[in-house]
Amino acid sequence: MANLLDSLLLLLTFFSTLCLAHSPNLREIYRFPNATWVENIAVRPNGNLLVADLSTAELWEIDPSTPGSAHLVYHFDGAEDADGITELSPDIYAVIATNSVWTIDLTSDETAPKATLIAKLPAGALNGIAALDEGNAVALTDSSLGVIWYLNIRTGAYEVIHQDETMAANTDMGLLLGVNGLKVVNDYMYYTDSPKQIFCRVRIDTHTGRALGPYEVISRNTLGDDFVIGPHGVAYLAGLVGNVVLKVYPNGDHEVIAGSANSTDLMTATSTAFGRTYKDRNVLYITTGGESRLPGNDTSIRGGKIMALTVEF
């Protein structure tokens, strides 16, 4: 995924605006330094947020109850970026760092996180990740090849398991990009294709990840990066350069619930996740890739941030 951050920052500058907007249910939790692209998020059982910093190949932890503080969990030496995160079992995570997959074990409060390299794949650009087979395997989107990989966490064996037109990559957004965000809920695999602006799903075998049904487009004209599936099968998509969060219903209807094209509140929204404590189960946490100010010759970039949006179910 070499030079991906440079391409994303150019893309960000192209789509940015001067105008500001405010959503009353939206608040800032933490902002990273300038030129930081925050790519993905997972929520720990204790309610803390784990976020992947694409620009530094680092994993950070943030306590949303004490906004403004963060601490480094792990730096992936030799990697150019950190991307998708998924929980395999309570407080054990799989993380993409460039085209490698690591596990991060946070089960002990008394020792440093245990990091284990599982495999380095011959991929184009690994991006999204979702657990399979009760956490013994993962599915991985490859955004530049337009495919989905299977990786066995126990053995390190891998193979391509999905390739479909709904995942195909193109350069409509300035860089070669296709299938992007990924989630597995019950026996369906959900995914976005950002340049095609589609939100899709396919029924799968949850052990092997392989398709058991057709590839379905749930909703069109939905520019999305990563996302979460909430109550009643409703998806909450981070709208990337649309600068919004989209709510997508199972019937394909969708609406903007926060942000706007002319807002920096959610500029380059990259991923979403719901809180896990009784206090924040209706709070949607959103990561962003940072902000740019116009005119176009102003290349100053504000760092990516973590936002919290209170939603109604």
Domains, the chain, ranges and CATH?
43-257 (2.120.10.30)
Spatial distance between the Cα atoms of 271 and 286, rounded to a whole number of angstroms: 6
Phi-psi region of 180 (alpha: psi -120 to 50; beta: other; left: phi over 0): alpha
Q: What is the CA radius of gyration of the chain?
A: 18
pLDDT for res 14: 42
Residues of the chain below pLDDT 70: 1-24, 292-300
Q: What pLDDT digit, counting tens, does each position of 214-254 carry?
A: 999 999 999 999 999 999 999 999 999 999 999 999 999 99
Structure tokens at 46: 């204790």
Residue 299: what pLDDT? Answer: 43
Q: Is 112 exposed, middle or buried (0-12, 13-18, 19+ CB in 10 A)?
A: exposed
What values do phi and psi take at 60, rounded to 5? Answer: -120, 155
d(CA 126, CA 148): 9
If residue 9 lies in a helix (H) or strand (E), which one and from where to where? helix 4-15
The answer to whether the beta carbons of residues 128 and 162 sit under 8 Å apart is no
For tokens 């990740």, name the residue.
129
CA distance 12 to 21: 17
- Asked if residue 1 lies in contact with residue 55, where contact means CB atoms within 8 angstroms, the answer is no
- pLDDT of the residue at 17: 34
Contacts of 94 (CB under 8 A, 6+ apart): 85, 86, 88, 101, 102, 103, 104, 118, 129, 131, 138, 153
User: Which residue is it, tokens 């054990």?
Assistant: 92
Per-residue pLDDT at 8: 52
DSSP conformation class of 300: -
